[in-house]
Each structure stands twice: as C-alpha cells, then as structure tokens.
Amino acid sequence: MQRVLCSTGAFIGRPNGRDYRLIKLCADSMDCDGFEFMMYEDWYDKGDEIEAFVKTVSKPVVTFHAEKNVGERISRNEPGDTEEAVRLFRMNCDMAKRLKAEKMVLHLWNGIHSDKDFAHNASMYPELRDIAEAEGILLTVENVVCNVGTPMGHLKELLALYPDISFTFDTKMAEFHGELEELYAEENREVYGHIAHMHINDYKGGVKDWGCLKTLHLGKGQVDFDRLFNFLKKMGYTGDFTIESTSFDKTGTIDFAAMQQSVDRVRRLTDGKCLRA
C-alpha cells in the first residue's frame, strides 16, 4: 500500500531550534502515514537520544533523508572530502537503521559545487549503495538541482552506468529545471521505471529561477498535479509520497493545517488508495 509521509525537514528548522521532539507533536496533530526523517549536521552526536525518542512516536519513520553535507563533500572533492563523505554516509546509514527506515534519499551532488565534475559524483554511487544495502536500506538518488547539467540528464547517465539504481523524483526540482514534462516522454520511460519514491512539492517561477527555490505546498505554484497523478496511475506507480513543503515561519511556528491539506490532496489524487493513519 502507498503511504503519504511528511518530511521532518518541512516543520523542523533553525527557527524552532531544530528540535527533533517536534516529530511527536506532528504525529499527534496530523493524519499522515509516517515520516521521512531529514538528518541535520548537528544531530550526529544525538543518535541515542533521537532513537529513544522516535520509539515513543505513534507514526513510523519510513524513509531517511541523508544529511546534505555528504553530497557537498563529494561535489567539492578537495583532499580528504571523499573519505569524509563516506564516513558521514556510514553514520547516516547507522541512524537510518536505528530508526527502522526502509529507504534513504541521497543528494549525490549538492551545494555550490553541485555537478561541476559529475563523473566523480557518479563514481561514488556503488560504494554508497553497498554501504546502505549492508544495513538493509534501499538507496535512492534524488533529481536535485544542478549548476552545470540537468537532473534528468544525470539520472539517465547514472542509469546507463548502474542499471539497478533507484531514484527519488522531486516534482519541484524537475519543474525548476523545466524538466517535469520530460517525465512523460516516451524516451524517458526507463528512468520512470526506476523511481522508488516521490517528493510531491510545488514550484512557482521560471527555469532555474534561483530566487524562487522555496518549496511550496500543492496548489501554491504551477505544477499540474492532476496530470502527474494520472500519469503515475497509468504507469502503475506503487511507491510512497513525501510532502516536503516548508511549513514553519520565521518564528518556528508550524502550519499543520497547510501540511494536512497537502497530505489530503495527495490522498484524493491517488483515489484514496493511500493508507490512512
């Protein structure tokens, strides 16, 4: 059964002190099916307490989003960066296993250096995949924004190199690059067949409009979600969906109503096939 998840990064951030205890408040306040846990760099030394706390939460962590410094280190690729990226990734996998996550989302390229040397980023995938698989976790590479190439182009390059690869497809990232339309193209059907997870977020702006990168709730931008979900149903997509839309303001106050509206709309768009909490 498909599930609609909330990203913890959608409601936990610097304005509310990156307080992981807000996960319980969200679980008690919302009708969702679980969480995608967004790892932050200041949580590496809190593994034991986060694991203990998550056990008290009424909804499960289904997916784990690796901390973004992993991709940034790989992309920068200065002396020692590759080794540090692997070290951090192992810590992410350990945390994901402790939280009983099934999948991991990875930014294989990230930050200002992004995809400047994509061949190096791509070469790192097998080692990271093997580390994740050893912990019983499915590694998925996300179509994140690029400074040089395009996400769809990179997914196709990765698929040519690693035919067993899995992807997380983010609607905002695709629309930012003007590539959401490419998902429907016949020549990209092979890429679609490797999508194991979906991030359902809206975007409002032009192609590579860097001032419009804020992750919006469904209906607040220009993504045609009716068309998207009709396509997913036609193609028989059976994976989960995560809502990542920013849901806290400058004071850290969480807008649970907006999050719930996005969750409810995804349920309607899947004809009610997603589980209810």
- Tens-place pLDDT, residues 224-273: 999 999 999 999 999 999 999 999 999 999 999 999 999 999 999 998 66
Average pLDDT over residues 177-181: 95
Closest CA to 269 of 237, 245, 221: 237
Per residue in 191-226, pLDDT tens?
999 999 999 999 999 999 999 999 999 999 999 999
Per residue in 1-30, pLDDT tens?
899 999 999 999 999 999 999 999 999 999
| pLDDT band at residue 274 using 50, 70 and 90 as cut-offs | low
List of residues 6+ apart from 173 with CB closer than 8 A: 142, 143, 144, 145, 151, 199
- Tokens representing 174 are 């695709």
Spans of all domains in the chain: 4-269
Provide, rounded to the nearest whole percent, the portion of the chain with pLDDT above 70: 98
- Tokens representing 59 are 């909804």
Average pLDDT over residues 156-173: 98
* Predicted local distance difference test score (pLDDT) of residue 271: 80
Question: With 50 as the cut, is the pLDDT of residue 190 above it?
Answer: yes
Question: With 90 as the cut, is the pLDDT of residue 95 above it?
Answer: yes
CATH class name, domain 4-269:
alpha beta
CA distance 195 to 210: 26
